[in-house]
């Protein structure tokens, strides 16, 4: 699995769908993290009592964000998936965000938002503007509270549309390649 995930492109060449690897399932209080050195998913931390991931949370392979990790993505699925699940998804947008670390460094740490794609699925949202504003506010609040629990300050700068989010992903492989060397 280790090599397969490492070779997976950000986008599927045939369909244009986004490739996503789920790290933490919807409803989980435990955050899992993919460990590239072993190719395994490891327990990373436990969220405070009463706090769970609102949707499946994972990463886009062959990318790297400013924080050094693959780009984060929240998959708005109707039912929980599992850690390690490869999801064919469609980007709908994201949250442009900054994260202030304990040492006061400020990093961009956007949260991209996608929906799973499968043949029998009814028409998924095409844009972040088609997602209920109340749900987006809840997602923003989750990331603020989650980071506060980690001793970091998370600030949503703005919501971004599908094109902006896809641009971030398309620019990211160059950053990933530079970091590997």
Taking the C-alpha atoms of residue 97 and residue 111, their distance in angstroms, rounded to an integer, is 7
First-to-last CA distance in the chain?
22
Partners of 60 in the β-ladder: none
pTM: 0.92
Torsion of CA 60, 64, 69, 72, to 10 degrees: -40
Over its length of 181 residues, how does the chain's per-residue pLDDT go in tens digits? Answer: 566 787 899 999 999 999 999 999 999 999 999 999 899 999 999 999 999 999 999 999 999 998 889 999 999 998 999 999 999 999 999 999 999 999 999 999 999 999 999 877 778 888 999 999 999 999 999 999 999 999 999 999 999 999 999 999 999 865 555 445 3
The answer to whether 33 and 73 have CB atoms below 8 angstroms apart is: no
Q: To which CATH superfamily is domain 2-180 assigned? A: Inorganic pyrophosphatase (3.90.80.10)
Would you state the pLDDT for residue 1?
A: 55
């Amino acid at each position: 699995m280790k090599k397969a995930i490492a070779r997976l492109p950000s986008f599927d060449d045939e369909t244009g769908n986004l490739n996503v690897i789920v790290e933490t399932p919807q409803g989980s209080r435990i955050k899992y993290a993919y460990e590239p050195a072993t190719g395994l998913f490891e327990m990373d931390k436990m969220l405070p009592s009463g706090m769970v991931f609102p949707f499946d949370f994972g990463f886009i392979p062959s990318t790297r964000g400013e924080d050094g990790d693959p780009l984060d993505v929240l998959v708005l699925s109707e039912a929980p998936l599992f850690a390690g699940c490869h999801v064919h998804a469609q980007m709908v947008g994201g949250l442009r965000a900054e994260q202030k670390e304990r040492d006061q460094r400020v990093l961009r740490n956007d949260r991209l938002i996608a929906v799973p794609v499968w043949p029998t699925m009814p028409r998924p949202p095409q844009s972040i503007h088609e997602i209920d504003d109340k749900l987006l506010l809840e997602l923003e609040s989750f990331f603020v509270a989650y980071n506060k629990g980690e001793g970091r300050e998370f600030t949503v700068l703005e919501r971004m549309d599908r094109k902006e989010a896809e641009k971030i992903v398309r620019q990211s492989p160059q950053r990933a390649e530079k970091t590997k060397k």
